[in-house]
Amino acid sequence: MCGIVAAVGNIDTDKCQRMLHRIKHRGPDDTGEIRRGDVWLGHQRLSIMDVAGGHQPLTDSGATTYLVANGEIYNHRHIREDLGHELFETGSDSEAALHALIVDGPVGLARLRGMFALAFATGDGDFLAARDPLGVKPLYWARRDDVILFASELRAFDEEDRPLVESFPPGHCWSPAGGLVRFADAIPAHVRPARRAEEPGVWDRALVKAVRESIVTAVENRMMSDVGVGVFLSGGLDSAIVAAVAADYAAKHGQPLPTFAVGSEGSSDLAAARVVAEYLDAKHGNIEHHEILMSKQDAIDALPRAVTAIEHYDPSLVRSAVPNLLLAEYASRRVHAVLTGEGADELFAGYSYYHEEPFTDPDALQAELVRTVGELHHLNLQRCDRASMAFGLEAREPFLDRDVVELALSIPPEHKMIRPGVEEKKLLRDAFEGWLPESILRRGKEQFGDGSGAKEVLENAVRESPDVTAAAGVELRNREEAGFYAIWHRELAGIRPDATLGLFATT
């Protein structure tokens, strides 16, 4: 996990270096830059794979091509086998992306399984930028007449460039010669729900097994690290499943598993996380559980930092970001990477509004699930990435593995609808029967900001904000959002929310 900056065209090296310095927090372990003709590449590194040898920009043996990348390529070993181990000079997973592009050109992006934003250049000035299909890793660009700038965070851009900044679209690549081209869809076109369920809420063993095995494989792939991995454990179903699979994997490999929970005194999240940790430790004997107690003052003090860190003002995101930030700050002193439960609610219909009109119709529910998965890159994934990377901590999301996404969205939507005796996400709960305490398997959904105790505190903290519905052309939905927007605007004035951010359907 890292931060990248790139530029192609009329290069101002000082500007590029300023941009890179502003995202130093994303990669505090190392920095690197290179200029070749009209291309400049910069990199801030968080060392996780090949700590000693993975310096970036990466280059081939002849120093004719270069790459900077933010993210993880989980199938890098398979790519090495396919392309030939003799091509590789480091153990860095990002080197797999370098050689895939050298061998196949832009088509090589199809080989990559993981989360990434990257910039690739050749010695004679060819250039390519790309972002993974779901947009798990951030990338922004600003297109001027004489230069195009790329960076991992909004804060990287100079004030005069901010009005031009846009989100680089997930699943796309750009080159001067080919322009902007889609190389993969967030939800591949072939993914369609199976025929409608004859008995909604009743599934055969094969489906339950397929769901379980796809998630287990995704978690195990994300245990890849030379410096250890932990789990953000909220006590909810999704993070508890991730923790259960990670604990099993770590035990088999003789490793401890640090888990991290945050909440106010007496909060439901802390209590539930403790139940999960004690259960898994009794089963595997390898859990190192950490609790971060968040006082009201802690939450209030963290609020401006959280809005600044996540570069967003949506109330639902900010409420979650405050405890997320405190959790990341603590965890970053103990591990370099953590697993999270992001994406499960969008895939298995966990949010309450999914079960209200008009989504009580199966086709409408399916369409909304597909829409919200596609929107994750500038909502929950943005919050998750920024809150963790504010402290140089990598977050990995197993539920957003391509195989898990494709399987989950191929399940008849009727199987995700609630009815008497069928709670939300019942299929997911049944898939991990025996992996967790029954009280956790059947625990109802709570938003992270609610279960941690942050929601009420933060609502009160901005109660005196101006009651406005518009500011500088930005429509604000309530007083709470106006308060968060005021903080955001102080830090990122000039950035256009409509070109860079998304908003939740509900606040």
Residues with a known catalytic role: 2
Q: Taking Cα atoms as reference points, which of 10, 3, 5, 4 lies closest to residue 125?
A: 10
DSSP H or E stretch at residue 281: helix 268-284
In SS3 terms, 1-24 reads as: CEEEEEEEECCCHHHHHHHHHHCH
Q: How far apart are CA 81 and CA 211, in angstroms?
A: 28
Q: Which two tokens stand for residue 376?
A: 């994750």
Tell me whether strands 257-263 and 287-293 are parallel, antiparallel or unpaired. Answer: parallel
Q: For residue 225, give every residue at least 6 positions away whose Cβ sits within 8 Å of its Cβ, in sequence order, or none.
A: 48, 49, 336, 337
- The 10 Å CB-count burial string (b at 16+, else e) for 167-186 is bbbbbbbbbeeeeeeebbeb
Q: Taking Cα atoms as reference points, which of 263, 214, 256, 255 lies closest to residue 236?
A: 263
Write the single-letter amino acid at 391: F
Question: Could you count the other beta carbons within 10 Å of the beta carbon of residue 335?
Answer: 20
Q: How far apart are CA 284 and CA 257, in angstroms?
A: 10
Read off φ and ψ for residue 291, nearest 5 degrees. -115, 130
- Output the furthest CA–CA distance in the chain (Å, rounded): 66
Contact (Cβ atoms closer than 8 angstroms) between residue 337 and residue 303: no
Write the single-letter amino acid at 202: V
